[in-house]
Structure 1
Amino acid sequence: MQKLAFRILLVEDDADDRYIMHQAFTELQFIDEVKMFCSGEELLDYLQQLPEQSHPDLFVLDYNMPAINGAELALSLQQQQRLRHIPIVLYSTGMSPKMQRDLLSKGVLQCYEKGMEYGDILELARLLVRHVREGVPMAHAGNRTPEHNAA
C-alpha cells in the first residue's frame, strides 16, 4: 500500500538531480517523508487525488522545467484555496536577483541556487528537513536571495 502523507513534495525534471536529492534525503534519514515528481503536471495530478489530511508541509520546486516551470507551478498551487497555506521553495541552477524578488513578492518562501557539489545539495536537504521538522526559517545553503545578491 502506498503511503499517503509525505512531508515534502519535490518536483524535479532532471533524473540525475532527483537521484542526488534522493541520496541527500536518504543520508538524512528522511527519504520516507519525501515524494518526488518528474513534472508539474505529475504533481498536480497527484494533488487532485490527495485527501486534505494528507497534504504536505512543504513544496520544493525546480524553477527550470519544460511545460510548467517552477514559478508557474507555484502560482497554480497558490491559487488553490486548499493548498495556499503550504509554503513553497524554488531552486535552480541560476536565478536573477529580479526573478528572485518577483518570486518572493508573490509568496514563495525562499529561493535557492542548486549547488554543484553533493555537500551543497546535502545542506539544502538539511535545511528543508529542519524547516519541516522544526518550522525553522530557511536561509543559507547556497541561498541567493536578493538581499545576498545586493552585497
Structure 2
Amino acid sequence: MIKQNYNLLLADDDEDDCDFFKEALDELTLPVSLVTVNDGVQLMDFLGDHSGDNLPDLLFLDLNMPRKNGSECLKEIKESEALKNLPVIIFSTSLDNDIVDLMYAKGATYYIRKPGEFSQLKKVIENALVTASENDFKQPLREQFILQP
C-alpha cells in the first residue's frame, strides 16, 4: 500500500548517479521526497541526527563510497537499536553473487544493480518502492532479494 509521501535517503558518492536518481523520481508519479548524502560518514551522521521518528522511510545505499563504504554502514545500521529497522536497499553497480549474499546476510531489504539506461532506472526505483511497500519493508526470501526493472 503506497502511503501519502515517502521520505527517501540516497547515499551515493557519484554526483551523476544522484542526479539521475532525482530525475527518475521526478518523472514518477509516486509521492516521494529525497535527501542525498555523498559518503558513508555523512550517512551515519545524518542518521544519528535523525534517529527516532525522523528516520527516512527507505535508504538507497551505494556500496562503493569513500571514507566509509556501504557494507560498513549497513553493518552499523543493523547493529544500532535506533536504526536496525530502517529498510535498506543496496543500490550498486556490482552484481557479484558473493556480495549479494553478504548484503542479504547483513540484513539489507533488497538489492538493485544500477541500470545503465534512464528508463530502466525509473522502472527499478518504482518497482523497489511498490515491492518494498507491499512487503511491509521486510526482507524477502533470498530468491526475491534482487529487484529488476
- TM (norm. structure 2) is 0.81
- Corresponding residue for 1:129? 129
Code of the residue aligned with 1:111 in structure 2: it is Y
Which structure 2 residues correspond to residues 1-150 of structure 1 after superposition, within 5 A?
A: 7-30=7-30, 32-131=32-131, 133-134=133-134, 135=136, 140-141=147-148
Deviation (angstroms), 1:29: 4.2
Deviation (angstroms), 1:21: 0.0
CA distance in structure 1 between the partners assigned to 2:52 and 2:131 by the alignment: 21
CA distance in structure 2 between the partners assigned to 1:105 and 1:12 by the alignment: 22
CA distance in structure 2 between the partners assigned to 1:113 and 1:51 by the alignment: 28
Q: Which secondary structure state, in structure 2, belongs to the residue aligned with residue 111 of structure 1?
A: strand
CA distance in structure 2 between the partners assigned to 1:24 and 1:69 by the alignment: 24
Q: 1:63 touches 1:70 (CA, 8 Å); kept in 2?
A: yes
Deviation (angstroms), 1:139: 5.1
Deviations 1:7-26 (A, max 9, x none): 22110100000000000111
Pairs aligned (count) = 138
Identity of aligned residues (%): 25
Deviations 1:89-145 (A, max 9, x none): 112111310111111012111211110100121112112332465437675325xxx
Structure with the higher helix share, 1 or 2: 1
Deviations 1:44-80 (A, max 9, x none): 1122222511112211101111221111111111111
CA distance in structure 1 between the partners assigned to 2:93 and 2:51 by the alignment: 33
Q: 1:22 touches 1:31 (CA, 8 Å); kept in 2?
A: no
Q: Which secondary structure state, in structure 1, belongs to the residue aligned with residue 147 of structure 2?
A: coil
Structure 1's unaligned 5+ residue stretches are: 143-151
Structure 2's unaligned 5+ residue stretches are: none
Q: 1:25 touches 1:31 (CA, 8 Å); kept in 2?
A: no
Aligned in 2, Cα 1:51/1:61: closer, same or farther, shift over 3 Å? closer
CA distance in structure 1 between the partners assigned to 2:76 and 2:25 by the alignment: 26
Code of the residue aligned with 1:34 in structure 2: it is L
